[in-house]
Structure 1
Amino acid sequence: MRSWGRREWTVAAIGTAATLLLLGVPAVLVPNGLFSREVDPTWWSYPVWAAASVLTGLVAATYVRGAAGSATEDVDRGRGKGIVGAALAWFAIGCPVCNKLVLLALGANGAMTWFAPLQPLLAVAGLALSAWALASRLRAAESCPLPTP
C-alpha cells in the first residue's frame, strides 16, 4: 500500500464511504426514515461497521490500476472473500428480528435466542475474511506486478 497513488487512495475513500452507507443505512446505524430497527444496536456494532467499511474500501482499491501498476489481472486470490466478509459484517450489525431471512428461518423468538448470540461470531468472521481478502490481493499485487508503460 506504500506504493499506492492518489487513484488507489481515492477509490479506497469512496469505497469506504459507500460501504458505510450501504451497511449503515439498512442496519439503522445511520438514523434514517427508510428503515426501522426493533432492537437497539450493540456497543460493538459501530466499530465492526467502521472496520468492515475501511477493509472493504481498501479491498476495492486493490482492483484499481494506478501509476505503480498495483492491480492484478491474472492472479485474483481475493476473489469473493471481500464481498462475503462485508455481507457477514452486515448480518452481524443488523437487527436480529428485522432481518427477513432470519425471521423466516427462525421466527422472532429464534432470532433473539439463536441468531443474536451468533452475531459477534459473524462480525469476527466477516472482518477476518475481509482482512484475508485484502492481504491476498496485496500479496498478489506485490508478487505479480503489472508492467508499467
Structure 2
Amino acid sequence: MWLLTGALSGMLVATYFGGSKTPEPADESSVQQLGRPGKLGVAGGFLAWFAVGCPVCNKLALLALGYSGAITWFAPIQPVLAVGALVLTGVALFARLRGQVACPVRERPMEAAR
C-alpha cells in the first residue's frame, strides 16, 4: 500500500515541476467539488506518514496514547489510514491532471541539439 502511495505522491509532486502550468478547469464548480489538489496531496501525505511504521515508533501516537494505547488503538487503524492516504493522493493527482491532454515540449534549435 505504501508503495502505491509513494508512486502517486511522486507523480503528484512531479506535476508541480517542469515549467508548464496545468490548464484551468472549465468551470469553477469542479474546483469546489474536489477542493484544491495541493491540500488533498498534503492530507494524503500526512495520513501516509501516520500509516507507515510501527505504532510505537510513531512519536506522536506514543505521546498521545502511550505504549499500550498505541498498540491497542492506533495499530488497528493504520490500514484505514493507508487506504485514506491512497485515496486522497489519487484524487489530488486526478484533479491536478484533469484536462491535461499532452505535455508541452519545447523545441530546441538545430544548433543547440548538436
- Using structure 1 for the length normalisation, give the TM-score: 0.55
Give the match's secondary structure for 1:118: helix
Query: Aligned match of 2:80 in 111, 121, 137?
Result: 121
Aligned positions of 1:26-41 closer than 5 A: none
How many angstroms does 1:74 deviate by? Answer: 6.3
How many angstroms does 1:64 deviate by? Answer: 2.6
How many angstroms does 1:142 deviate by? Answer: 2.8
5+ residue gaps, structure 2, are: 26-30, 107-114
What CA RMSD, in Å, does the superposition of the two structures yield over aligned residues? Answer: 2.6
Count of residues in Structure 1 that have an aligned counterpart in Structure 2: 95
Query: Aligned match of 1:55 in 8, 11, 21?
Result: 8
* Kept after mapping to 1: 8 A contact 2:5/2:89: yes
Q: Distance in 1 between matches of 2:49 and 2:38?
A: 19
Greater relative contact order (CA < 8 Å, ≥ 6 in sequence)? 2
- The match for 1:88 is 47
How many angstroms does 1:135 deviate by? Answer: 0.3
After superposing the two structures, state which structure 1 stretch, 56-65 or 119-128, moved more: 56-65
Larger Rg: 2
* Kept after mapping to 1: 8 A contact 2:50/2:81: yes
Q: Deviations over 1:105-128 (max 9, x none)?
A: 110000011000000000000000
Aligned positions of 1:1-149 closer than 5 A: 48-65=1-18, 69=20, 71-72=21-22, 77-139=36-98, 141-142=99-100
- Using structure 2 for the length normalisation, give the TM-score: 0.71
Which amino acid in 1 is paired with 2:22? Answer: T
Q: Normalized per residue, which structure has more helix? A: 2
Give the match's secondary structure for 1:63: coil
* Kept after mapping to 1: 8 A contact 2:12/2:92: yes
- The match for 1:13 is none
5+ residue gaps, structure 1, are: 1-47
Q: Deviations over 1:24-64 (max 9, x none)?
A: xxxxxxxxxxxxxxxxxxxxxxxx22111110111012113
Q: Distance in 2 between matches of 1:106 and 1:81?
A: 27
